[in-house]
Amino acid sequence: MPETIQNPSVQTAEEPLRLYNPVVCIILTLIFTPMFGALLQGFNWRTLNEPVLAEKSMAWVRVSFFTFVAYTIAEPFIRDIPVCRYLMIALFIGFWISWTLSMGIRQVTYIRRNRIAYKGKFFGRAIMIGAFGWVAYTAFALTLVLFLHLTGIDPLPADAPILQQ
């Protein structure tokens, strides 16, 4: 995994770069999925003038997004398979470990190795967007479940309380 520094003098003496703290990005992925950390670190890579690494980070965003959407759509049809009950947790942990070891730590070491002084960007807006992402995901999942129940594709169980009235 060799990294190239395309422009080692990317930093000016007058004004330090503005980056999201890469360690905080790794920690926040535990709450918001690797998609969140990869997105923020992708922005950092662009600021550091590393388009190849920025693209790799954004690839993690796309893969994470499509994997979790595909799982959400498939889950109602595979939930009765015993191993699939824990698939989402396994996906989340697997993605977190894989992303952290492949891309998350890379940015931390890159910044330390190149002694890049930076001013930390405020995480408030990013956290609000991450929280909105969870709300949007929940709305999508609940809408999908409601659609499947109402159309009869995935009927409610016979012992569901609403059917006992």
Parent domain of 72: 17-149
∠ Cα 34 36 37 (to 5°): 65
pLDDT over 80 (residue 110) = yes
Residue 160 within a domain? no
CA distance 139 to 4: 42
CA distance 63 to 94: 13
User: Which of the pair, 139 or 3, is modelled with greater confidence?
Assistant: 139
CA distance 29 to 90: 15
CA distance 6 to 27: 28
Residue 11 within a domain? no
Residue 135 within a domain? yes
pLDDT over 70 (residue 4) = no
CA distance 6 to 160: 61
- Determine the average pLDDT of the residues in 121-147: 94
Residue 77 within a domain? yes
Structure-token match 């809408």, residue found: 143
Residue 127 within a domain? yes
* Cα 113 to Cα 43, 78, 140, 152, distances in angstroms: 19, 46, 42, 58
pLDDT over 80 (residue 136) = yes
Could you give the angle at which helices 51-78 and 105-113 cross, rounded to 10 degrees?
Answer: 160
Total domains present in the chain: 1
Residue 68 within a domain? yes
- Determine the average pLDDT of the residues in 130-136: 94
- Determine the average pLDDT of the residues in 6-17: 63
pLDDT interval class at 153 (50, 70, 90): confident
DSSP-H helix ranges across 3-123: 22-47, 51-78, 87-99, 105-113
pTM: 0.81
Tell me what pLDDT residue 152 has: 85
CA distance 30 to 104: 12
pLDDT over 90 (residue 23) = yes
Residue 3 within a domain? no
Residue 118 within a domain? yes
pLDDT over 60 (residue 11) = no
With a pLDDT cut of 70, the percent of the chain lying above it is 90
